[in-house]
C-alpha cells in the first residue's frame, strides 16, 4: 500500500441506537502511513465510530473500507491490531499465555510467537516478573501495556487504539509514544481515539474532530492548527517596535509574556505578503532571527470547532 | 482450523481457572479415596466379597463382570444428573466471560468470524466436559481394573449419556448468554431446561398433569422440542447393565438430542452475528 492511499475510508456512515443518533453521517479518510488522532467531547460518537471501523458495531447506513476491504473480513482483520477502550484480559491467563492465544488466532506460527511475545513484552515495559503472573492481578497500566503488546503482535498494517495511554504513568506514556512512532516508521497506519489532547498533539500528524456524530474538522495537524499568521523574531535594535510596526508587524504579546521579547506577529497566510513585509524590514536594517507559522494548540482548535468558529 | 484454535483457547483458559481446576482435583481425590477404601475379593473371576471403608457392601458370590455391570448400571443416574448439573454451574461463566465488555470487542477484532467464535466456544466447553468425564469415568474404570483385572465398556455408557445431555443443555445456555450476558441467567436456563426435559421425558404422563384443552395442547407444543433427558439416562443405564458402550435402537433419541444442541448453537450464532458490541 502506498502512502497516498487511504488506510481507512468512511462514507456516509450512520449509526442509530433507537432514538439516539450516535454517528450522524461521517465521511473520513485516514491516509496510509499516518498517525491519525480522533478527538471530540464525551458522547461525540468516537467509540461507536471506532467499533464500526472494526466491524464490532454494524452501521445503520454507509460504508467502511479498511485496508481496501470490509472490516468483517478475516483477511483484513489479520492486518489490524486493536486496543479497546477498557480492555478486559482473561484473568486466569498470564500475559504470555494471553499473547500466544491472540497470536494463534491471528495465524502466527509457533516460531513467530516464540520470537515476538517476549520481545513485545519487553518493549512495552512490562516487568519480566509479571509475564508469568495471572493478568487478574495486574494494575490498569499493566493491562494497558499488555493490550498494546497484543495490538502490536504480528506487526499489523493498521493499529486502531482507543485511549492507548489511559492508566499509564507519564514516563510510560512517552515510552508508548516512542513505540507507536516506531510502528509508524515501519509504515503502519495508527488510528488513535483519545481525549488526551496533549498526547494527540505530540504523536499525531493528522486529526479529526468529531462532535455529535459528525466530523467537524479533519486534516493534517499543522493545517488544522494553523492560525493563518506568522511569528517573526528580530534581533534587538533601537526603536524596534516602531520600525517593525511600520513594516506591518505587531507586537506578539503572547510570546512576550513567555519572555520572548523582540517577537512580532504577522497576520495572514499569504507567503508573498510576508516576503514583502520582511523585505521592508531588512531594508530598514532590521535583522530577522526566526520566522515560524503561528499554530494554535489543539484545545483551542477543539473549542473553536465545537463553537462553530472553524470547520465546515 | 480457527474453530479448533478458539475451542482449544477456551479450554486452556477454563483449565487455568481455579474453579475448574478444583473440579479436576476433586475428581482425583475422589478416585484416590475410592482406590484406597474399596477392597474387592476376586477369586478366579468371581467377586467373593467387597468392602468399602471396611464395611461389607456385597456378600453374594457373582462373576466380577456381572457385579461391575450392576454397579455401573446403578451409577449412571447419579453420574448423569450430578454430572450435567455440575457442568451447568462450572461452565456458566465461560461464554459470559468471552462476551464481557472489553473482551468481546477485542475478540471480534481478531481474524475470527462470529460464527466461528460461537462454535469454537461451544466445542471448547464440550472438550472440558469430555476431559472431566474421561477423568472421572476413566479413572473409575482404572481403579476397578486394578482391583479386578476386568475391562468393561459399562462406564462408557454413563459418559456418553452425560455428554449428550450436557451438549443439549449447553447449546441452550449459549443461546441464553447470547441474548443476555449473565452467568446467573445462563445457569438458570441450563438447569431449567434440564429439569423440564427430564420431567417431560415421558410426554404423555407429563402433559396429563395439565388441564385438558388448550393448556394441555400448549404444554404439548412447548415440551415437544425438549430433549428427553431421563430417557437418555435410562438408555445409559441399560447399556451399562448389558456391558455395552451404548444400546441399539436409541438413534432417534440421540438424533433429537443432538438436533436440539445444534439448534441452540445455531440460534446463538445468529444472535451474536447480528448484535452490536
- pLDDT tens digit string along B204-222? 999 999 888 899 999 999 9
Closest residue in A to B9 (Cα) is: A101
How far is the C-alpha of B268 from the C-alpha of B173, rounded, in Å? 9
- CA separation (Å) from B75 to B45, B66, B78? 22, 14, 6
Q: Which one of A76, A88, A161 makes the best mutation probe of the B interface by having the most chain B beta carbons within 10 Å?
A: A88
Nearest to A105 among B105, B111, B274 (CB): B111
Fold type of domain A226-306: Alpha-Beta Plaits (3.30.70)
- pLDDT tens digit string along A67-100? 999 999 999 999 999 999 889 999 999 999 999 9
- pLDDT tens digit string along A207-224? 999 999 999 999 999 888
pLDDT of residue B21: 84
pLDDT of residue B59: 65
Strand residue runs (E) in A68-144: 80-83
How far is the C-alpha of A22 from the C-alpha of A15, rounded, in Å? 6
B2–A74 CB contact, under 8 Å: yes
Q: What is the mean pLDDT of residues B9-14?
A: 93
Which residue's entry shows cell 439416562? Answer: B233
Interface of A to B at Cβ within 8 Å reads 17, 51, 54-58, 72, 74-75, 77-78, 80, 82-90, 92-93, 97, 101-102, 104-107, 134, 147, 150, 160
Dihedrals φ, ψ of A247, to 5°? -90, -5
The Cα angle at residue B221 between residues B218 and B226, in degrees rounded to 5: 130
Residue A94 grid cell: 498470564
B274–A107 CB contact, under 8 Å: no
How far A25 CA sits from the closest chain B CA (Å)? Answer: 18
pLDDT of residue A226: 81
pLDDT of residue A8: 97
Which residues in A lie closer than 8 A to residue B12 (C-beta atoms)?
93, 97, 101
B102–A75 CB contact, under 8 Å: no
How far is the C-alpha of A37 from the C-alpha of A219, rounded, in Å? 10
- pLDDT tens digit string along A236-266? 999 999 999 999 999 998 888 888 889 999 9
- Band of the pLDDT at A312, cuts 50, 70, 90? low
In the 8-state DSSP scheme, what is residue A98? H
Q: Tell me which architecture the domain covering A6-223 has in CATH.
A: 3-Layer(aba) Sandwich (3.40)
Residue A19 grid cell: 432514538
The proportion of chain A whose per-residue pLDDT surpasses 70, expressed as a percent, equals 97
For the sheet with A35-39, list strands across it. A80-83, A158-162, A189-193, A35-39, A206-211, A214-220
How far is the C-alpha of B126 from the C-alpha of B132, rounded, in Å? 10
- Which of A37-51, A102-116, A169-183, B51-65 has the least mean pLDDT? B51-65
User: pLDDT at residue A2 above 60?
Assistant: no
- pLDDT tens digit string along B67-100? 777 777 888 898 899 999 999 999 999 999 999 9
| Full-model pTM | 0.86
In the 8-state DSSP scheme, what is residue A128? G
How far is the C-alpha of A202 from the C-alpha of A197, rounded, in Å? 9
How far is the C-alpha of A99 from the C-alpha of A102, rounded, in Å? 5
The proportion of chain B whose per-residue pLDDT surpasses 90, expressed as a percent, equals 58
Q: DSSP assignment of chain B, as one string? A: -HHHHHHHHHHHHHHHSHHHHHHHHHHHHHHHHHHHHEEEEEETTEEEEEEETTEEEE-S-EEHHHHHHHHHHHHHHHHHHHHHHHHHHHHHHHHHHHTSTTTHHHHHHSS--HHHHHHHHHHHHHHHHHHHHIIIIIHHHHHHHHHH----SHHHHHHHHHHHHHHHHHHHHHHHHHHS--HHHHHHHHHHHHHHHHHTSSHHHHHTTS-TTHHHHHHHHHHTTS--HHHHHHHHHHHHHHT-SS-TT-HHHHHHHHHHHHHHHHHHHHHHHH---
User: pLDDT at residue B108 above 80?
Assistant: yes
Helix (H) or strand (E) holding A54: helix A46-54
Which residue's entry shows cell 468393561? Answer: B152
- For helices B2-16 and A95-105, give the axis angle rounded to 10 degrees: 170
- Band of the pLDDT at A311, cuts 50, 70, 90? low
How far B23 CA sits from the closest chain A CA (Å)? Answer: 16
B9–A105 CB contact, under 8 Å: yes
Helix (H) or strand (E) holding A161: strand A158-162
pLDDT of residue B58: 66
B276–A77 CB contact, under 8 Å: no
User: pLDDT at residue B246 above 90?
Assistant: no
Beta bridge partners of A265: A231, A250
Q: What is the mean pLDDT of residues A34-52?
A: 94
- pLDDT tens digit string along B34-66? 888 888 877 777 877 777 777 777 667 778 778
pLDDT of residue B241: 84
Which residues in B lie closer than 8 A to residue A102 (C-beta atoms)?
110
The answer to whether B127 and B213 have CB atoms below 8 angstroms apart is no
Which residue's entry shows cell 520600525? Answer: A243
How far is the C-alpha of A27 from the C-alpha of A10, rounded, in Å? 5
A54–B112 CB contact, under 8 Å: no
B111–A160 CB contact, under 8 Å: no
Size of interface A-B (CB pairs under 8 A): 84
Residue A74 grid cell: 478475516
Q: Residue B204 burial (CB < 10 Å; 0-12/13-18/19+)?
A: exposed
Average pLDDT, chain B: 89
* Closest-CA residue to A288 (of A263, A251, A256, A253): A263
pLDDT of residue A3: 46
pLDDT of residue B109: 96
- pLDDT tens digit string along A174-209? 999 999 999 999 999 999 999 889 889 999 999 999
Closest residue in B to A91 (Cα) is: B17
Query: Can you give the residue ranges of every domain in chain A?
Result: 6-223, 226-306
- Band of the pLDDT at A4, cuts 50, 70, 90? low
A88–B103 CB contact, under 8 Å: yes
How far B172 CA sits from the closest chain A CA (Å)? Answer: 24
pLDDT of residue A309: 64
Which residues in A lie closer than 8 A to residue B11 (C-beta atoms)?
none
Closest residue in A to B12 (Cα) is: A93
Looking only at Cα atoms, what is the longest distance across chain A? 75
User: pLDDT at residue A274 above 50?
Assistant: yes
pLDDT of residue B157: 83
Residues 6+ apart with CB under 8 A from B128: B10, B11, B14, B15, B20, B90, B91
* Closest-CA residue to B14 (of A93, A81, A89): A93
Cβ neighbours, 10 Å, residue A229: 18
Nearest to B106 among A55, A87, A104 (CB): A87
Q: What is the ipTM of this complex?
A: 0.83
Q: What is the mean pLDDT of residues A62-66?
A: 97
Amino acid at each position: 500500500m502506498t502512502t497516498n492511499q487511504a488506510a481507512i475510508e468512511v462514507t456516509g456512515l450512520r449509526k442509530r441506537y433507537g432514538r439516539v443518533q450516535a454517528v450522524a453521517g461521517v465521511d473520513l479518510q485516514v491516509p496510509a502511513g499516518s498517525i491519525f488522532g480522533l478527538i471530540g467531547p464525551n458522547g461525540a460518537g468516537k467509540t461507536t465510530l471506532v467499533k464500526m471501523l472494526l466491524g464490532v458495531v454494524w452501521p445503520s447506513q454507509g460504508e467502511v473500507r479498511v485496508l481496501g476491504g470490509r472490516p468483517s473480513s478475516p483477511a483484513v482483520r489479520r492486518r489490524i491490531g486493536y486496543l479497546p477502550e477498557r480492555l478486559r484480559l482473561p484473568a486466569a491467563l498470564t500475559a504470555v499465555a494471553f499473547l500466544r492465544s491472540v497470536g494463534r488466532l491471528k495465524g502466527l506460527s509457533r516460531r513467530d510467537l516464540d520470537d515476538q511475545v517476549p520481545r513485545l513484552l519487553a518493549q512495552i515495559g512490562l516487568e519480566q516478573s509479571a509475564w508469568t503472573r495471572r493478568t487478574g492481578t495486574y494494575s490498569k497500566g499493566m493491562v494497558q501495556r499488555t493490550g498494546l503488546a497484543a495490538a502490536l503482535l504480528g506487526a499489523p498494517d493498521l493499529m486502531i487504539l482507543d485511549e492507548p495511554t489511559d492508566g499509564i504513568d507519564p514516563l510510560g506514556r512517552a515510552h508508548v509514544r516512542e513505540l507507536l512512532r516506531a510502528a509508524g516508521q515501519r509504515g503502519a497506519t495508527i488510528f488513535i481515539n483519545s481525549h488526551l489532547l496533549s498526547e494527540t498533539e505530540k504523536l499525531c500528524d493528522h486529526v479529526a474532530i468529531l462532535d455529535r456524530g459528525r466530523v467537524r474538522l479533519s486534516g493534517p495537524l499543522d493545517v488544522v492548527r494553523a492560525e493563518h499568521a506568522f511569528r517573526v523574531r528580530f534581533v534587538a535594535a533601537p526603536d524596534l517596535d516602531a520600525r517593525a510596526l511600520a513594516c506591518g508587524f505587531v507586537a506578539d504579546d503572547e510570546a512576550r509574556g513567555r519572555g520572548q521579547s523582540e517577537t512580532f506577529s504577522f497576520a495572514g497566510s499569504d507567503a508573498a505578503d510576508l516576503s514583502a513585509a520582511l523585505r521592508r524590514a531588512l531594508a530598514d536594517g532590521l535583522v530577522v532571527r526566526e520566522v515560524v507559522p503561528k499554530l494554535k494548540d489543539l484545545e483551542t482548535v477543539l473549542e473553536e470547532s465545537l463553537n462553530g468558529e472553524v470547520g465546515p | 482450523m480457527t474453530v479448533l484454535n478458539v475451542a482449544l483457547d477456551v479450554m486452556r483458559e477454563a483449565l487455568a481457572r481455579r474453579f475448574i481446576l478444583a473440579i479436576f482435583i476433586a475428581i482425583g481425590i475422589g478416585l484416590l479415596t475410592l482406590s484406597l477404601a474399596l477392597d474387592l475379593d476376586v477369586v478366579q473371576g468371581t467377586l467373593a466379597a467387597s468392602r468399602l471403608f471396611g464395611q461389607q457392601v456385597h456378600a453374594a458370590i457373582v462373576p466380577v463382570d456381572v457385579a461391575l455391570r450392576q454397579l455401573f448400571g446403578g451409577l449412571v443416574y447419579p453420574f448423569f444428573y450430578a454430572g450435567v448439573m455440575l457442568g451447568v454451574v462450572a461452565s456458566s461463566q465461560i461464554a459470559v466471560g468471552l462476551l464481557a465488555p472489553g473482551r468481546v470487542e477485542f475478540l471480534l477484532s481478531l481474524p475470527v468470524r462470529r460464527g466461528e467464535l460461537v462454535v469454537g466456544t461451544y466445542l471448547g466447553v464440550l472438550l472440558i466436559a469430555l476431559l472431566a468425564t474421561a477423568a472421572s469415568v476413566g479413572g473409575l474404570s482404572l481403579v476397578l481394573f486394578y482391583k479386578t483385572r476386568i475391562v468393561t465398556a459399562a462406564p462408557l455408557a454413563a459418559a456418553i449419556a452425560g455428554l449428550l445431555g450436557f451438549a443439549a443443555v449447553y447449546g441452550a445456555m449459549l443461546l441464553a448468554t447470547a441474548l443476555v450476558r449473565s452467568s446467573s441467567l445462563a445457569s438458570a436456563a441450563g438447569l431449567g431446561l434440564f429439569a423440564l426435559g427430564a420431567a417431560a421425558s415421558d410426554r404423555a404422563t407429563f402433559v396429563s398433569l395439565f388441564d385438558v384443552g388448550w393448556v394441555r395442547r400448549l404444554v404439548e407444543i412447548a415440551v415437544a422440542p425438549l430433549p428427553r433427558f431421563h430417557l437418555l439416562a435410562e438408555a445409559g443405564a441399560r447399556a451399562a447393565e448389558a456391558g455395552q458402550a451404548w444400546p441399539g435402537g436409541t438413534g432417534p433419541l440421540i438424533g433429537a438430542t443432538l438436533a436440539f444442541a445444534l439448534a441452540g448453537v445455531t440460534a446463538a450464532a445468529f444472535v451474536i452475528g447480528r448484535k452490536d458490541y
